[in-house]
């Protein structure tokens, strides 16, 4: 349902996205684009280089189309850096996601436009303290009369907040309070009644996670576990454990563990999967954020960086999220290779015992983060501030 915001209804916005982390980059940009249109009436042009990855989370996308409209958003297939643009092609607000290089012709047209657009570099989400000092900082173009501002998502009042749609909490709570709706959703994924009654875990991680060891621990444990994993995720470990194929629809049970391989689902159904599971193992940024809104325990597999810089980022988040949750902290660090948790079975037993406390913390955390406002609204507020300053210089 679209919520019109008259103050922004005439605004245009161009969002440039290059898909590096398969689904996380386009997942974030697609959520942002939809929210800008549905809740604020902003006319969005989304430039994406990989429509095939986009299609896996939004089946409406035509991977062969140069230009198409999807759910009110104008989607361009961003094929290369070539092309001539005129000032009329340039939007009021231009966002480069995670420092991608906008086509030079578009940047040149930005400099010729009157008034010049508001230009943002939307950075990745982090809990590190240094982002508070960098959020909203300006950066002058070395040659053109253009200024770019850095916009950092984050978990404090001094950052840009986190993506969160209006009505999301009400929808989640209604779903989780409706046993029939949850059973119908899980049944549609192939789960039996017995599997619904056991521990349900969604698994979304990078290939280097210690998946094989965790599957073995679940299989040899005393509590029934059903693991729901999208096709292609941890494919080698899942195929080895299942003893053959790991295509969407395949399942296998060994000991206490049942593994079910799922097709990739549209974003709204992925949210429901997170809402329906008792524990969510998530990766990157998009599923990491959605797990936080699910109100369920989760473990984050962070995108790897050179010199293990991602471990510092992980510890910064755990320092905010997991005080007093030692099993979650230890398992998270081990899952990401920051410490040794061999044998993983013992770490899993500790984590399992801590799940009720983690669930309580998950609800507390949601309230803490949302008190600072959502990213989309804060971004538009900053854009209006910059546009007003440009029109009324001191």
Q: E-assigned strands of 197-351?
A: 199-203, 225-230, 251-254, 257-262, 279-283, 298-301
Rounded Cα–Cα distance for residues 372 and 353 (Å): 32
Measuring CA to CA, how many Å separate 79 from each of 48, 65, 86?
8, 11, 19
Exposure string of 362-376, with b = 16+ CB inside 10 Å and e = fewer, is beebbeebbebebbb
Q: Which of 8, 21, 25, 39 is catalytic?
A: 25
Q: Which two three-digit tokens encode residue 245?
A: 């194929």
Give yes or no: 25 in active site: yes
Compute φ and ψ for 22, nearest 5 degrees.
55, -65
CA distance 2 to 160: 23
Catalytic residue among 49, 123, 271, 285: 285
Q: Is 307 one of the annotated active-site residues of the chain?
A: no
Q: Is the peptide bond before 343 cis (omega within 30 degrees of 0)?
A: yes
List the Cα angle 264/60/100 in 5-degree steps.
80
Q: How far apart are CA 158 and CA 245, in angstroms?
A: 48
Strand order of the β-sheet with 251-254 is: 251-254, 257-262, 225-230, 199-203, 279-283, 298-301
Q: Which helix (H) or strand (E) covers residue 347, if one does?
A: helix 344-370
Residue 21 CB neighbour total at 10 angstroms: 18
Just list the catalytic residues. 25, 285
């Amino acid at each position: 349902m679209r919520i019109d915001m008259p103050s922004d209804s005439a605004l245009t916005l161009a969002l440039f996205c290059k898909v590096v982390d398969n689904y996380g980059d386009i997942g974030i940009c697609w959520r942002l684009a939809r929210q800008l249109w549905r809740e604020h009436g902003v006319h969005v042009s989304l430039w994406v280089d990989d429509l095939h990855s986009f299609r896996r989370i939004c089946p409406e996308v035509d991977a062969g189309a140069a230009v198409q409209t999807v759910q009110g958003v104008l989607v361009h297939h961003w094929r290369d850096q070539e092309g001539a643009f005129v000032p009329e092609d340039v939007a009021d607000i231009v966002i480069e996601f995670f420092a991608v290089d906008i086509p030079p012709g578009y940047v040149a047209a930005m400099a010729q436009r009157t008034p010049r657009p508001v230009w943002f570099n939307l950075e990745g989400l982090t809990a590190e303290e240094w982002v508070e000092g960098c959020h909203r900082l300006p950066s002058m173009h070395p040659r053109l009369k253009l200024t770019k501002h850095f916009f950092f998502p984050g978990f404090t009042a001094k950052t840009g907040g986190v993506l969160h749609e209006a009505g999301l909490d009400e929808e989640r709570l209604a779903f989780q309070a409706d046993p029939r709706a949850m059973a119908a959703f899980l049944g549609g994924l192939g789960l039996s009644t017995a599997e619904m009654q056991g521990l349900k875990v969604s698994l979304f991680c990078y290939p280097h996670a210690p998946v094989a060891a965790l599957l073995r621990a679940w299989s040899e444990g005393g509590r029934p576990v059903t693991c729901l994993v999208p096709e292609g995720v941890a494919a080698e470990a899942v195929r080895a454990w299942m003893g053959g194929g790991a295509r969407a629809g395949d399942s296998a049970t060994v000991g206490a563990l049942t593994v079910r391989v799922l097709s990739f689902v549209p974003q709204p159904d992925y949210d429901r999967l997170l809402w329906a599971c008792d524990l969510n193992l998530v990766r990157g940024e998009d599923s990491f954020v959605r797990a936080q809104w699910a109100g369920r325990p989760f473990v984050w597999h962070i995108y790897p960086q050179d010199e293990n810089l991602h471990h510092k980022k992980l510890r910064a988040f755990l320092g905010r999220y997991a005080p007093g949750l030692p099993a979650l902290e230890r398992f998270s660090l081990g899952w990401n290779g920051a410490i040794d948790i061999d044998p993983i079975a013992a770490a899993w037993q500790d984590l399992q015992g801590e799940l009720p406390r983690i669930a309580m913390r998950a609800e507390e955390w949601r309230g803490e983060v949302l008190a600072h406002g959502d990213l989309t609204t804060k971004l538009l507020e900053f854009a209006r501030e910059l546009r007003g300053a440009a029109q009324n210089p001191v």
